[in-house]
C-alpha cells in the first residue's frame, strides 16, 4: 500500500542514538510521534514558521509581500 504524500517536502536528517534509545523512540511512535510532539510543543504559531521558511527561501519577495499586505490604498 503506497504512503500518502507528505504535506511538506521531507529531508533526511541524521540523529545519533544508541540502540536502546532507538528502540524507545520506535515504541513511542517513531517519526510520526516526533512530528506530533513538535507541532504540539512549538513555541510560536504555525504561521510564524511558514513565514520564516518563505523568508529564507526568497528573502526579497517575502519582505515585499509583507509590506504590501500592510499597505492601505484609498
Looking at the structure of the chain, the number of domains it has is 1
Which residues, in sequence order, are CB contacts of 64 under 8 Å at separation 6+? none
* pLDDT score recorded for residue 8: 78
Say which residue the cell 511512535 belongs to: 29
- 4-61 pLDDT, tens digit per residue, is 787 778 888 898 999 999 999 999 999 999 999 999 999 999 999 888 888 788 767 6
Range of the domain at 37: 19-70
Whether the model clears a pTM of 0.75, i.e. scores above it, the answer is no
- Asked whether residue 49 is domain-assigned, the answer is yes
What local confidence, expressed as pLDDT, does residue 55 receive? 79
Residue 23 lies in a domain: yes
**Contact present, 18 and 26 (Cβ < 8 Å):** no
Q: Does 66 fall in a domain? A: yes
Amino acid at each position: 500500500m503506497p504512503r500518502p504524500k507528505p504535506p511538506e517536502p521531507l529531508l533526511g536528517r541524521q540523529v545519533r542514538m544508541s540502540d536502546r534509545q532507538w528502540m524507545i523512540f520506535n515504541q513511542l511512535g517513531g517519526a510520526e510521534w516526533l512530528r506530533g510532539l513538535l507541532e504540539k510543543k512549538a513555541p510560536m504559531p504555525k504561521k510564524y514558521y511558514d513565514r520564516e521558511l518563505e523568508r529564507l527561501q526568497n528573502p526579497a519577495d517575502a519582505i515585499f509581500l509583507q509590506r504590501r499586505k500592510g499597505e492601505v490604498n484609498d
